[in-house]
Amino acid sequence: MIALLIRDLRLAMRAGGGFGLGLAFFLIVVTLVPFAVGPQSDLLARIASGILWLGALLSCLLSLDRILALDWEDGSLDLLATAPLPMEAIVTIKALAHWLTTGLPLVLAAPVFGLLLSLPAPGYMPLIVSLLLGTPALSVIGTFGAALTVGLKRGGLLLSLLVLPLYVPILIFGAEMARRGVDGLDYTTPLLMLAGITCGTIALLPFASAAVLKVNLR
Amino acid sequence: MNLNALWAYANPKKFIQTTDKVLPWVSVLAVVSLIVGLVWGFFFTPDDYRQGSTVKIIYLHVPSALMAINVWLMMLVTSLIWIVRRHHVSALAARAAAPIGAVMTLIALATGAIWGQPMWGTWWAWDPRLTSFLILFLFYLGYMALWEAIDNDDTAADLTSILCLVGSVFALLSRYAVNFWNQGLHQGASLSLDKEENVADVFWYPLLVCIAGFVLLFIALVLLRTRTEIRARRMRALLARERMG
């Protein structure tokens, strides 16, 4: 399992793996927002937490098709399927590798991008915590979507259509938590809901992803 | 009738034979109850004392909204049957139901907007009920797109069934998440069986007829579309056999 994780991380880091692309996309989104809505810092401060959440979600979405597609093309997925490792473990590792290479950098970069959007000072902590709690669920759900569309020639757009509605609850609670943090309100309720959804997703969804992948490898 | 007798209809031939007899009746009943319900509702009920004649859109809005949710539930049940017992008719019925459900969702959204413009002063508000219907519509779109995208019928049935299960959980989550996210403008339930404050009987009876009409219409359309799917599949099989021979 650890060997697989290290292999996936290495592949992602090296050239062509697309590591850092998500981060660059996140930066571009953050750069474009002031052009679209105007540079007034009070307006930006009000929407900063929402923009950061949306940007994180979209850059996560961007790299989803890479989770399984490359392994599917060169046949290593078939090899993995015959390995003694259960399919559930494989998809969990894939999701973990995706989170480590996409989700975690986004979380770490978010405070810097918050500065660009003049995010108010009390908002930083809740924003980082909410992203830290929410992005793993985004990766796990994304792996499910990638497993659904892995056999398709042009699955990219379909993948977004399938995955984005599933992101709704996480976006709602995550962004709500960040927003409440900015306003200085108590954010325990969305924090707990977000944590609950993430835990439930991580615990249950790999079984669905594994089942889907088995169907696709049939 | 015990439950085992139900599985006989998993045989496509038996299904076609039975629906041959049932379909005309259901279709006629659907048309009759829709005409009766809508005419009764539109022309023979009084105007509401505050909402005027706009209230009459409930004869389309409520049944379609009801169907939008229940069609998804039906798809969930048939998907489960496909996963557990692998009856092809079940998977085909789920596939046949999805576009109908999507259209019902769209009707509910559109009639709601038409009613909302004079009553709330806006076509659209980010109210929990409206929002969750929009999300439900997206789920329908994704489900149908996945069916269309996959060539192999059995693979498509498997994948869409699992998507339907996972989607149901997330749709439910979203329903409660949007409740938390924004306060509602939409009125509460006024058709519950156990509550005192319900819609008045003058509106209630034609509405019941309309709901029955929508349910029958849905059954007729699902049967029709499932039969079409079965026959299309049979035709493909025959063509393939001819090409081989």
How many structural domains are present in chain A? 1
How far apart CA B245 and CA B242 sit, in angstroms, is 5
Confidence tier at A202 by pLDDT (50, 70, 90): very high
* Residue B95 belongs to domain spanning: 23-184+200-240
For residue B153, the model assigns a pLDDT of 85
Contact B141, A161 (CB under 8 A): yes
In this prediction the ipTM stands at 0.87
Confidence tier at B197 by pLDDT (50, 70, 90): low
Confidence tier at A6 by pLDDT (50, 70, 90): confident
Start-end of H helices in B86-200: 88-120, 128-149, 153-181
**If we measure between CA atoms, which residue out of A92, A101, A89, A93 comes closest to residue A60?**
A101
How far apart CA B151 and CA A51 sit, in angstroms, is 38
Residue from A153, A158, A162 whose CB has the most chain B CBs within 10 Å, to mutate: A162
Residue A169 lies inside a defined structural domain of this protein: yes
Q: Does any CB of chain A come closer than 8 Å to the CB of residue B146?
A: yes
* Residue A69 belongs to domain spanning: 41-217
Q: What is the chain B residue with the closest CA to A148?
A: B159
B110 or B183, which is more confident: B110
Size of interface A-B (CB pairs under 8 A): 75
Closest CB to B141 among A149, A161, A211: A161
Residue B59 lies inside a defined structural domain of this protein: yes
Residue A171 lies inside a defined structural domain of this protein: yes
Encode pLDDT of A113-138 as tens digits.
Answer: 988 888 888 889 999 999 999 999 99
User: Residue A205 pLDDT > 60, yes or no?
Assistant: yes
- Taking the CA of residue A147 as centre, how many other CA atoms within 13 Å lie in the half-sphere pointing to its CB? 32
Residue A7 lies inside a defined structural domain of this protein: no
Contact B59, B42 (CB under 8 A): yes
Q: What is the chain A residue with the closest CA to B170?
A: A166
Residue B40 lies inside a defined structural domain of this protein: yes
How many structural domains are present in chain B? 1
What is the phi/psi pair of residue A19, to 5°? -65, 135
Q: Does any CB of chain A come closer than 8 Å to the CB of residue B142?
A: yes
Q: Does any CB of chain A come closer than 8 Å to the CB of residue B25?
A: no
Which residues of chain B have a CB within 8 Å of the CB of A166? 166-167, 170
Q: Does any CB of chain A come closer than 8 Å to the CB of residue B191?
A: no
Encode pLDDT of B31-54 as tens digits.
Answer: 999 999 998 888 887 777 667 777
Q: Is A200 helix (H, G, I), strand (E, B) or coil?
A: helix
3-state helix, strand, coil in chain B (%, to 5): 80, 0, 15
CATH at B55: 1.20.120
Residue B132 lies inside a defined structural domain of this protein: yes
pTM for the whole thing? 0.89
Residue A13 lies inside a defined structural domain of this protein: no
Encode pLDDT of A14-68 as tens digits.
Answer: 655 566 788 888 999 999 988 998 888 888 888 888 999 999 999 988 888 888 8
Give CA separation, A128 vs A16, A55, B5, B179, in Å: 29, 14, 57, 24
Residue from B83, B146, B166, B181 whose CB has the most chain A CBs within 10 Å, to mutate: B166
Q: Does any CB of chain B come closer than 8 Å to the CB of residue A211?
A: yes
The DSSP annotation for A41-70 comes to HHHHHHHHHHHHHHHHHHHHHHTTTHHHHH
Mean pLDDT of B233-237: 90
Encode pLDDT of B114-169 as tens digits.
Answer: 888 888 888 888 888 888 899 999 999 999 999 988 888 888 999 999 999 999 99
Residue A142 lies inside a defined structural domain of this protein: yes
